[in-house]
Structure 1
């Protein structure tokens, strides 16, 4: 029998010491257990995308010695490779670490709850902020205040959080600290005396951020003797442990072997482990009011650990859930089909596994006469759609076609029933429709004044309704419009970046449904409708959308032996048409001289043959044509 290694015994000894320290309320030199709530600080970092939020988190963890030369890497809280490649945060994360403050010599426990930076994941940001008492609001010293800076600021203000402004990237030549201070004071209305100017990349002044956290962010409150109330701010799936809940405990205590209940569903589970998370998960004896950690309870699905839900004890339940819980509802829908029909079962397994780590993903089976069997998938936004497809292709080695994105419309039929339609092929018969509604979003755009005219033209083209126009102090303008969500997902972001040369930033939120004159456009190839290419749009843009689709399709479908008509139709009215001319064999090539009637006879015979072929022939759109068409339409 092999002798256990020395490192194994060291591990067992450290584990026993760690548990002993917990039982006696002690603190080891590397321990993180602390019962004094006055020395705990829970905070998040929020920022506009690419303002340095993840880099600042890396530096904070380095100073706290959570990472060292062996374990450190860029974007350490971003667990997926695709997050590091794109430089964005998709899933929120958390880290607990200890810091001894210079101003009072006290040893504090800091709980950093990371947040995604893209507008698609605003719901996760709001849940993370609910678990905190304060935030670091990062502003790029070269860019100033952007759209998501304001949006995240408003989220923090709604939660009554303490806000510490952080001016980042001061090492760059274009950095203007004085201008950023003025913006923080006048545009954001924050206390500039608390602002800290740092370079997260070089580490300059980052220790002052930790000092500001311990000084200005209040300690958590809560009653350890009250019934348990813990907020789930994130969850993920582990192959061996099941769905793991990341929680902030507001009241009560949760221990191993407790039986917990989800307040939104009433489901109960037995706790097998609780603990805190540094970079790894560290088991503890319990989690008390004010603490941030994780709970493992043998939950089989992430759907049972919904972000924003409240966890309580089954034998002593809380009477009231924590505020703010709501179901995550997808905003954008598209069909997802395997290029190879034999991959359907593989796609089914892959998307089910992906959903275990992405509770916001919605899918149901769908079939198409053109594309075969696949799924109708709901996403939080276009970036979420792109990330899901890339993960499926990369992690499960699939080749996929994503149909053009659409939104969920509400249609009231003449019998008074309200239908939610996310698939254009399910659009009811126009004679049965009483009222049609589409979702609207409030779009907040911040742009330099030089590009204001072009941007106003763009939002008006997209059927926007102006809500506000505010001139900011740094030569920028804040433009607020109500725009149909369907217009926002069709070329809006690309055109916004193009006409502003990349300087405009955008944030949006769903505000509800409004009645609209919507029509369904059918694409017919050789008089046969292609369900995968159907779309719903406003009547005013139907002609242009239909004509664009037909012109693209004409270049992608190969010619046949007979004439192929391509049509875009609204109901029985054809709004656009193109013809793909037939391939023609020279049947008179063998006639040298002679009577002209022989040539006419051969041409008439060819004409009759092509007529019969058109009646019985079928046109199959090749997969690469579908791929090119849908990709170009999606952009």
Structure 2
């Protein structure tokens, strides 16, 4: 039985928009909101759902957003559309997977001029894994380079979806958008039947922190009803909360009496910590719990680790509170305290990829007005010790004695690269140089699709930048972690005046160690200012020095006052100076400026 003010299940549509970066997801979402009257015309702006400044500046979606829209179809029926706009970048794939599990269908948006890209494939396969019905939308058909027929053939060939009934649109001008709305209500399925009288069972899709309301929780109700005043229980953590408010995003927050089966909305319940609301948890009623939990999601695993340190040591407490606040809105970001002899106190942070690292660092600097230094990014290694035990290594500086290590295992990824034919040679060389193993190579029209196994260690520094520069921005790249494999890895330490600098130590493959060491020494020679004594800069593996540069000493002309007379007078002064410099070098402290660290840590590929 349906409540009098509730939309029947057959007229609810929950759907995601998936696409590669820059194929127009957010613009399609804008047009759908505009056409269904989700916001007043004067409140409308481009990329309405990208609310963060950093999202607008970079033109990318970082956080998935949800909106409830009301649409009267051509058959005269009123429908409720729950739309989820998802990110396109590989680092935010976990956001995509969460949204897809809360929906029954997807709009696959493909650029009619660029065609299928690596992330298009990754996202559409995720949608297929979630048993989604998929409506293909070809966007940007107003561009002179658009070739819808070629792209339809590509979709059928690469993805295996029937693209004969793809909707051709231009989200920018609004052309073809009414057909998209009709396709959503006619071709996407309604939510599966749920029992509104059964005990409450709801999926926790997302959670974020609001300074006024506390934690806001996005939920998808499967069975039962979620009402204000109910006491709910998180089945994963066992925490209980009374519900303060129930509502939907339109995209502004609007309160509703209750959420029933098939509906997506939000609740607030005076929750203080986002950590208490684990994404993928099952929410049920405390008095009448549901017997079985929902399967949930795998937690987001950090892939890249790096140290973040304040430039000014006095900002450490500010950095700690800033990270705590940022963690409230991004559960995939993890951190723990660490200290370094060179950089003082800071945090070892885990990220989902380099873009995620960049975004977090930029948000900390912008939103909290901090100056930060990031150490060289590293990945998680698995050490197999001689006694048979295993342990994880997050920071190369913490590596135990090599005598105790039997094997070092490193993470490998399966990478998919799509590239125009003319850049193929350079990209193959790049993958080979990074110890890649080619799995397969196929052609999609005039574009090559490469599948490679690569060590994550080699990808994490600047692989993506190199790929974009050698392909003039036309290659697209997607990856997922596959397994850990043993590797011939060594710890390379950098010594300045005989003292190891822990912030610059790194794990490298033995074959690349000498080149990496020489590059680092050459760079530090230029960056460290000269002192009154000469300073050796060395790269070493264990007790073996593999590269060395010497920073010349500043010289004072001690013989300036000597004129005429015996040459031994001059020699005596020079010998005295030499002995003084030797003593200075023994006890002298080399000051390495912060800028030298920052510049040295910016890896560049010569």
8 Å CA contact retained: 1:490, 1:634:
no
Residue number among 515, 518, 522 corresponding to 1:544 in the alignment: 515
TM-score normalised by L of structure 1? 0.93
SS in 2 for 1:194: coil
8 Å CA contact retained: 2:71, 2:80:
yes
8 Å CA contact retained: 1:404, 1:633:
no
8 Å CA contact retained: 1:124, 1:233:
no
Residue number among 560, 582, 591 corresponding to 2:531 in the alignment: 560
Deviation at 1:111, TM superposition (A): 0.2
Residue number among 446, 457, 475 corresponding to 1:486 in the alignment: 457
User: In 1, distance between residues paired with 2:442 and 2:167?
Assistant: 27
Alignment of 1:147-546 (within 5 A): 147-221=118-192, 222-472=194-444, 474-546=445-517
8 Å CA contact retained: 1:40, 1:108:
yes
Deviation at 1:240, TM superposition (A): 2.2
User: In 2, distance between residues paired with 1:168 and 1:55?
Assistant: 10
User: In 1, distance between residues paired with 2:383 and 2:336?
Assistant: 20
8 Å CA contact retained: 2:221, 2:264:
yes
Residues 515 and 227 (structure 1 numbering): CA distance in 2 closer, same or farther, change over 3 Å?
Answer: farther
Deviation at 1:68, TM superposition (A): 2.6
Alignment of 1:98-177 (within 5 A): 98-102=70-74, 104-177=75-148
Are 1:573 and 2:540 matched, yes or no?
A: no
User: In 1, distance between residues paired with 2:521 and 2:480?
Assistant: 33
User: In 1, distance between residues paired with 2:439 and 2:551?
Assistant: 46
Residues 211 and 149 (structure 1 numbering): CA distance in 2 closer, same or farther, change over 3 Å?
Answer: same
Deviation at 1:182, TM superposition (A): 1.4
User: In 2, distance between residues paired with 1:460 and 1:286?
Assistant: 57
CA displacement, residues 124-161 of structure 1 (integer Å, 9 cap, x when unaligned): 10110011110000110110110001111110110110
Number of the residue aligned with 1:6? none
Are 1:611 and 2:559 matched, yes or no?
A: no
User: In 2, distance between residues paired with 1:556 and 1:254?
Assistant: 61
Number of the residue aligned with 2:556? 585
SS in 2 for 1:190: coil
Deviation at 1:449, TM superposition (A): 1.8
Deviation at 1:322, TM superposition (A): 2.1
Deviation at 1:24, TM superposition (A): 7.0
Deviation at 1:517, TM superposition (A): 1.5
Residues 484 and 320 (structure 1 numbering): CA distance in 2 closer, same or farther, change over 3 Å?
Answer: farther
Deviation at 1:315, TM superposition (A): 2.3
CA displacement, residues 21-76 of structure 1 (integer Å, 9 cap, x when unaligned): xx9724xxxxxxx3300000000000000011101100110001112321101111
User: In 2, distance between residues paired with 1:268 and 1:175?
Assistant: 54
User: In 2, distance between residues paired with 1:362 and 1:95?
Assistant: 28
Number of the residue aligned with 1:11? none
SS in 2 for 1:298: coil
Are 1:25 and 2:4 matched, yes or no?
A: yes
User: In 2, distance between residues paired with 1:365 and 1:387?
Assistant: 20
Number of the residue aligned with 2:31? 59
8 Å CA contact retained: 1:165, 1:184:
no
TM-score normalised by L of structure 2? 0.97
Which structure 1 segments of 5+ residues have no match?
A: 1-22, 27-33
SS in 1 for 2:378: coil
User: In 2, distance between residues paired with 1:322 and 1:206?
Assistant: 36
